[in-house]
Chains A and B, each alone.
Chain A
């Protein structure tokens, strides 16, 4: 038995309720999965009742539906359309504004503000994605002050996946389904038809301090074994596979592969894949001045490598074709990201597959390129 497992605890739904209360008392904004617009979205959650109790999802390329489970599981689904980046690296962020004052200019940088975010129900792939965005946005000095402000005091309650969605492939990307670090508390939900219990581990001293304020008990050997078995079962039942060890080499020697044109015939260049991807971080800035030229504001907003403007250099966009834009997206995620940030840019969450309106599947595209590689 490992040290972690020997220290495993058990939390009941009432304990989870208390955990949310304690986090809110400590000044955290508690964010987590909840049903909204017919999907499991991430939003403010005040109590356990706000969680998607007894719900699961059905996912495939370009398809998502909520379904009832026959139990009262609180985390019995895979990831939905949202990712935590919408809170940590929000879609719009004002950066600075300037005001003309006679002959002088007053420049006001947007203060990053104070944020205490508690993220409830973060999956292994999402923890990996957050770690990637940390590297991208904070890894090189000076880093992004707005992201830093949101990450400085993030409390993370992770959840081990006890079910793999049919577009999930985290096991291939070595990023799940078991959480391995980067959390304050981690839960594994053991569900019976009547209720749930959570096998729980603390990952940080803050996590342990919070746990002190929440009723819990030591886990039995049977409970830890059940939790471990559930995670193993999830790992063995991934919806998709993507053998990933040679991807950079494979893709970078296939830049002229005919498959890129074939996928471009299907791709809408709509950008949905990059919007839902938890690691995509690209943004652009917009300047706007008022009518009388007194005030101007610079705003950062999410951008996508699928827009024409994204690759606008002097004289025009260097990626006019959807072929070149799709190739940029996929080779960046799976190949050049390694050189740039020291890991894959894909954590195997499957969102880009489910939320692509035409169901383009990154694993299928790689498989097609691999299968027809000129030998």
Chain B
């Protein structure tokens, strides 16, 4: 297929000498980015997330474990997928008796796909950041919190540090320096549970991904 590559690029190069219109744009700075103070950012984040059917808990100082406990109880979860290797994950494991059975994503997916699909009620992951403008959590999957945790279980619970809520995606990319530090195999921006309006433009939730998204601000 190298022939295809060469002929496509050759044709494009040949085309390039034409005086194609150059559109200049003076609006280089993201024009719609609001600049909010820390509290406004949190408020906006909460509003926007709720607008896309996300349950958001603003945990007062050090109460996030209690809130997580409440979330599990309210849904009578029988198990919870959470990594013991993150700081907060370790705290959950330390209080294990308050929670349903804790499971760790310790093997590769191939080793426990059927269980992951059939027998996990909910997963807890951390967030790499939040976006106030759109009500979005940034997920940065790694070896401890793999990609499928936020995808396969019917309930996804996210722990987000308030200090990591940014105005906009642009700001998050810049401050967290995504291009330089490099991204994981997969970065996911999540704004609400899975949904579809494919039938009659009427919204329905929980189509393929999680049916519920719960964010606990810590």
Q: Are A and B interaction partners?
A: no
Residues of A within 8 A of B (CB): none
Residues of B within 8 A of A (CB): none
